[in-house]
Chains A and B, each alone.
Chain A
Amino acid sequence: KAGVTQTPRYLIKTRGQQVTLSCSPISGHRSVSWYQQTPGQGLQFLFEYFSETQRNKGNFPGRFSGRQFSNSRSEMNVSTLELGDSALYLCASSGAANTEAFFGQGTRLTVV
């Protein structure tokens, strides 16, 4: 069974640009969650999608958005990038609620 796949692995963007990250969950998993990891704030929940609907949202500004497609693949978008958006962005897929979440390798975003 293939794991969670995130693309791209690395990105460098300029302040003010926007970026789209992609996540393919484990086959059969319908829940996809996104997290941001920074040295200062640790691992923070961004949002969760289930069956193409946003089910939960963390405390991030509206510049952070996402969506999920009918095949459960998910994308997250960050608009008007700021230096502070530099982080490792992680995607996790889960089956039913309150079961293990399996993470992808992450996308390292650097904003310059």
Chain B
Amino acid sequence: DQQVKQNSPSLSVQEGRISILNCDYTNSMFDYFLWYKKYPAEGPTFLISISSIKDKNEDGRFTVFLNKSAKHLSLHIVPSQPGDSAVYFCAASFNNAGNMLTFGGGTRLMVKP
């Protein structure tokens, strides 16, 4: 049972445009969500997070939106840069579970110059 899903395995956008990566979850107990960027053979790099008490969080070019009723979150990258090309994972946790993260399957983002 996949509790966190990223339905798009890949996404291609033009440099300077917006990248929108999506993530759905099924467990309503999740109350904290994170996005990570990952290159092959390296550990994930933390990008941005959001608590379930918020519906939006911004950090520079990265904005995460949370729609609790739809159990959906998205990561917006504006403007997209070629260096953003990587695999992006969303992850979720719930407060009573310590720091146990459940990851989605990842979306490969390719930003074309």
Let me know if B41 and A98 touch, CB within 8 A: no
Let me know if A56 and B41 touch, CB within 8 A: no
Digitize A9-45: 1 where CB-to-B-CB distance is under 8 Å, 0 elsewhere.
Answer: 0000000000000000000000101010000001111
- The A-contacting residues of B in range 71-113, CB under 8 angstroms, are 89, 91, 93-95, 97-106
Instruction: Check if B62 is an interface residue, CB within 8 A of chain A.
Output: no
Instruction: Check if B32 is an interface residue, CB within 8 A of chain A.
Output: yes
Given the contacts A104-B43, A105-B42, A98 and B103 also touching, CB distance less than 8 Å: no
| B42 neighbours in A (Cβ, 8 Å) | 105-106
| A contacts with B, residue count (CB < 8 A) | 29
Given the contacts A43-B89, A88-B41, A108-B41, A102 and B46 also touching, CB distance less than 8 Å: yes
| B15 neighbours in A (Cβ, 8 Å) | none
**Listed A/B pairs (23) with beta-carbon separation below 8 Å:** A4-B43, A6-B43, A35-B101, A35-B103, A42-B104, A42-B105, A42-B106, A43-B103, A48-B99, A48-B100, A90-B43, A90-B44, A94-B99, A97-B95, A97-B98, A98-B94, A98-B95, A98-B99, A100-B46, A101-B34, A101-B99, A101-B101, A103-B44
| A103 neighbours in B (Cβ, 8 Å) | 36, 43-46
